[in-house]
Amino acid sequence: MFSNSAEGFTAAKDWMLDLAARNEKKQIVLGLEPTGHYWFCLASWMIAHGISVVQVNPYAVKQTKELEDNSQLKDDRKDPKLIANLVKDGNYGMPYLPEGLYADMRRLSMFRDQLTEDRTRCMNRLHREMKIYFPEYKDAFGKVDGVFALEVFMHEPFPEGLLKIGEEGIRNIWHQAKLRGAGYSRAVKIICYAQKSVGLKDGIVAAKEAARWFASQIISLDCQLAAIEEELNSKCKEIPHVINVLEVPGIGETILSGIMAQAGDISRFDEASEIQKISGLGLAACSSGKHKGETRISHRGRKRLRYWLFQAARSSSVAHSEEFRELHAYYTTRAENPLKKMQSLIVIACKILRVIYAILLSGNKYDPEKMMKDIKRIKTTPTGEAA
């Protein structure tokens, strides 16, 4: 065992050098199973000190563990041997630790995801309190996670308090928060629903404190998320030619920054299909003999990269891009092998990935006509059959 420190890493390196010398080996390859974040510092330190580092897929380790001794046993004595055998047989990949701009973007993106999860958790807990003590709150407030509703929840979330302050008190809350818009007219509706509420009365003091705290946390998280979003988008714009990518309809700053934070430096890939594979959008078929299984995406890879590519496809094909909307219609209505809507969006996500890859490498402007010409369409005969 080696400690997670400079002394521990040095001791591990010395041990490897001594082992290589005793066995007359000239090259050292350190194989790692990249679970969690524990391998980051070790891999970076070893690479900096001249030791080759590779990583094996944890799924491969799990699948091969029973080949060793026909046992489901998993411990720190068995796993290293499995990892060593996988490395020996060439079943490994090269680790990628983002550097500089891409490292900042990756950390900002992860922080954004963590804050978003915290916001969702607080929102769900706030919903629980409101459903118990003010069941009609959704009809009363409309957009429950909007600033107008959250500001009221921070002060008087339940009917008893709302009736005490009245319509004017609700409007004063919004006025003090410097909110502007048509939301002021909803004060009358809120009071009407508060008067008829069937919510519980017992335990309302503690519930009120909980609801106020959840609402304040959500507002605070919204401010933090806005700041993180702005910084992440600013970092993304430092990538060469990224401004050209933003000309693609449907790909905004948020979506593009999410894609680039997860993909990292795309110049390290020889072709776009490699990025498609690490995103889990690679196709995997399950067929045997006469049985032809359904082809699906592998789902193995960076799920957040897959998420942002799908968001780009949905935004482009449904809302903003005429050419991608046309492409979506073609895939779902063609006579030969029409795709389901979800399948079509996956195909479009892969196409968007190739467009982003080409623009960032070449620096060319987005050309919708060229993009549409690159699509392979199934030709049909006058009878309607596929040619």
Using alpha carbons only, how large is the chain's radius of gyration in Å? Answer: 28
pLDDT tens string, the chain, 387 residues long: the values are 789 999 999 999 999 999 999 999 999 999 999 888 889 999 999 999 999 999 998 888 888 887 777 787 777 888 889 999 999 999 999 999 999 999 999 999 999 999 999 999 999 999 999 999 999 999 999 999 999 999 999 999 999 999 999 999 999 999 999 999 888 999 999 999 999 999 999 999 999 999 999 999 999 999 999 999 999 999 999 999 999 999 998 899 999 999 999 999 999 999 999 999 999 998 776 665 665 666 788 888 899 999 999 999 998 777 788 899 999 999 999 988 899 999 999 999 999 999 999 999 999 999 988 888 877 666 555 555 554
**In sequence order, which residues have a C-beta less than 8 Å from that of residue 95 and are 6 or more positions away?**
32, 34, 39, 43, 53, 54, 55
89, β-bridge pairs:
none
Per-residue confidence (pLDDT) for residue 292, from 0 to 100: 65
Start-end of H helices in 200-269: 204-236, 242-245, 253-263
Q: Distance between the two ends of the chain, CA-based, in angstroms? A: 64
HSE-up of residue 269 (Cα within 13 Å, Cβ side): 19
Cα 361 to Cα 88, 201, 261: the distances in Å are 35, 63, 17
Per-residue confidence (pLDDT) for residue 285, from 0 to 100: 65
Q: Using DSSP bridges, classify how beta strands 52-55 and 29-32 pair: parallel, antiparallel or unpaired.
A: parallel
Can you read off the two tokens belonging to residue 300?
């193995």
Per-residue confidence (pLDDT) for residue 379, from 0 to 100: 59
**In sequence order, which residues have a C-beta less than 8 Å from that of residue 161 and are 6 or more positions away?**
155, 208
> Residue 284 is inside which H or E element, if any?
strand 283-284
Per-residue confidence (pLDDT) for residue 382, from 0 to 100: 52
Q: 241 and 348 in contact (C-beta within 8 Å)? A: no
Region at 181 (left for phi over 0; alpha for psi -120 to 50; beta for the rest): left
CATH 1.10.287.4070 domain position(s) in the chain: 101-235
Can you read off the two tokens belonging to residue 209?
């404190």
CA-to-CA distance for 272 and 350, rounded, in angstroms? 9
Region at 24 (left for phi over 0; alpha for psi -120 to 50; beta for the rest): left
Q: 283 and 295 in contact (C-beta within 8 Å)? A: yes
Start-end of H helices in 34-185: 40-48, 58-69, 78-88, 100-133, 137-141, 147-155, 159-176
CA-to-CA distance for 243 and 237, rounded, in angstroms? 7
Per-residue confidence (pLDDT) for residue 284, from 0 to 100: 75
380, β-bridge pairs:
386
Residue in 5, 104, 90 with CA at minimum distance from that of residue 56: 90
CA-to-CA distance for 52 and 11, rounded, in angstroms? 16
Could you read off the pLDDT of 202-241 as tens digits, one per residue?
A: 999 999 999 999 999 999 999 999 999 999 999 999 999 9
**CA 182 to centroid of chain Cα atoms:** 34
Instruction: For residue 55, report the phi and psi dihedrals to the nearest 5 degrees.
Output: -130, 145
Instruction: Tell me 316's DSSP state.
Output: I
Per-residue confidence (pLDDT) for residue 145, from 0 to 100: 93
52, β-bridge pairs:
29
Cα 306 to Cα 60, 108, 259, 309, 353: the distances in Å are 21, 18, 8, 5, 10
Could you read off the pLDDT of 12-31 as tens digits, one per residue?
A: 999 999 999 999 999 999 99
Q: Kindly report the CATH number that applies to the domain delimited by 101-235.
A: 1.10.287.4070
Per-residue confidence (pLDDT) for residue 377, from 0 to 100: 66
Can you read off the two tokens belonging to residue 315?
């935004």
Instruction: Tell me 261's DSSP state.
Output: H
Instruction: For residue 94, report the phi and psi dihedrals to the nearest 5 degrees.
Output: -90, 130
CA-to-CA distance for 263 and 306, rounded, in angstroms? 10
